């Protein structure tokens, strides 16, 4: 089983769309997926029309250390633990607790057998675009972290910012008896929203050439950008013959990109 977190310091870089489409692509290949929505905007949960309420135990209960966390079956090979729009308030409430960054780690350990977590090939965590307590929890349990970067100066700044913050957390989250860090994840980047024949995109492609941490390039394409808004992943769009024929090259490149990302993890 692989735990992969999609994280970013900067919003609007396509993080949730990336997580959603990668998870859907993996599920289409026969992998069993568990999404965990740690973004208090809850866009991923809303894509699957799952809304947390008193009857559905959301990610909030992971951080509140309550037992009633609901794993929702949303689609063939895909389950979801719903996000909570008040997660930022909960983060504030647990801020002074010594184990605040270990809540997800503890929940997974305590429920691994009870909730049959081992059945999943991938756990995919969608984080809020920040480096708050919930994001730190996700990074600590992850095997890999994927962060989208976009062709702008601020996109590059966010890349280096995330690298620095993860390195700081690596030094902070230490098992004191052994001196080893709980943070073992590899950090990878995906160049997203790449436009044809624009200086900013060309500059980005030139700058990442040979960078082994950049494991994918996704072009600016309305078909892809609207996928989670329309609640239709790209991998399902291929089933429409007319859409597939009109966008044949895009779909071919799309599959190759996900294959490369999967092979890199």
Tokens, residue 186: 């590899």
Mean pLDDT by 10 residues, the chain (265 residues): 94 92 97 97 94 78 90 96 94 93 95 93 96 97 95 74 94 93 96 84 83 90 86 93 92 93 95
pLDDT for 54 = 58
Long-range contacts of 176-182 (CB under 8 A, 24+ apart): 182/102, 182/105, 182/140
Please list, in sequence order, all residues whose beta carbon lies within 8 angstroms of the beta carbon of residue 183, skipping any fewer than 6 positions away: 139, 140, 166, 169, 170, 173
Predicted TM-score of the model (pTM): 0.94
CATH of domain 2-264: 3.40.50.300
- Structural domain spans, the chain: 2-264
The Cα-based distances of 196 to 131, 193, 199, 220, 226 in angstroms read 32, 10, 9, 8, 19
């Amino acid at each position: 089983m692989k735990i992969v977190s999609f994280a970013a310091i900067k919003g609007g870089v396509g993080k949730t769309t990336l997580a959603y489409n990668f998870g859907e692509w993996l599920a289409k290949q026969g992998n069993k997926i568990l999404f965990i929505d740690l973004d208090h905007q809850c866009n991923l949960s809303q894509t699957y029309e799952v809304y947390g309420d008193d009857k559905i135990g959301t990610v909030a209960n992971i951080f509140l250390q309550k037992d009633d966390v609901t794993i929702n079956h949303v689609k063939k090979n895909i389950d979801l633990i719903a996000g909570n729009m008040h997660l930022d308030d909960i983060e504030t409430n647990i801020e002074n607790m010594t184990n605040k960054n270990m809540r997800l780690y503890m929940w997974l350990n305590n429920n691994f057998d009870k909730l049959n977590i081992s059945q999943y090939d991938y756990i995919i965590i969608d984080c809020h675009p920040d480096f708050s307590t919930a994001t730190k929890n996700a990074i600590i349990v992850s095997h890999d972290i994927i962060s989208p970067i976009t062709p702008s100066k601020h996109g590059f700044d966010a890349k280096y910012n995330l690298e620095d913050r993860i390195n700081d957390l690596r030094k902070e989250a230490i098992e004191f008896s052994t001196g080893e860090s709980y943070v073992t994840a590899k950090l990878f980047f995906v160049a997203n929203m790449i436009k044809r024949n624009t200086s900013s995109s060309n500059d980005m492609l030139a700058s990442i050439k040979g960078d082994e941490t950049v494991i994918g390039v996704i072009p600016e394409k309305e078909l892809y950008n609207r996928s989670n808004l329309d609640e239709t992943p790209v991998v399902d769009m291929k089933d429409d013959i007319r859409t597939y024929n009109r966008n044949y090259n895009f779909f071919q490149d799309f599959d190759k990109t996900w294959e490369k990302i999967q092979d890199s993890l």
